[in-house]
Amino acid sequence: QKEVEQDPGPLSVPEGAIVSLNCTYSNSAFQYFMWYRQYSRKGPELLMYTYSSGNKEDGRFTAQVDKSSKYISLFIRDSQPSDSATYLCAMSTGRRALTFGSGTRLQVQP
């Protein structure tokens, strides 16, 4: 079993839709939870960061962490064609480097 599981998609939505992206994990020691966005032929860039449980909002993006269920989510409101990318969840215990999910490819149709 992989430490971090993520549905690869692809996920196709119309412009303006609310997008929900999710990851599950098995390592209960994970404390740091991140979402990265990766455009084609580019390196991942940090989108959202959450420590431990709870919600965090930044503009159109909301990250949620439910440690009791070992489940994290990223919501994108009013999705735009420029949001089309691969979204990677990533986690760490704080002592080791990030462990990434496999990524979900998102396509927002104009």
Q: Is 107 one of the binding residues for another protein (CB under 8 A)?
A: no
Could you say which residues in the range 2-61 bind another protein, by CB under 8 A?
Answer: 4, 6, 8, 32, 34, 41-46, 49
Give min distance, CB of 10 to another protein, in A.
Answer: 11
Long-range contacts of 64-72 (CB under 8 A, 24+ apart): 65/33, 67/28, 69/24, 70/24, 70/25, 70/26, 70/28, 71/22, 71/23, 71/24, 71/25, 72/22, 72/23, 72/24, 72/25, 72/33
Number of residues that bind another protein (CB under 8 A): 24
Choose between 57 and 78: whose C-beta lies nearer to another protein: 57
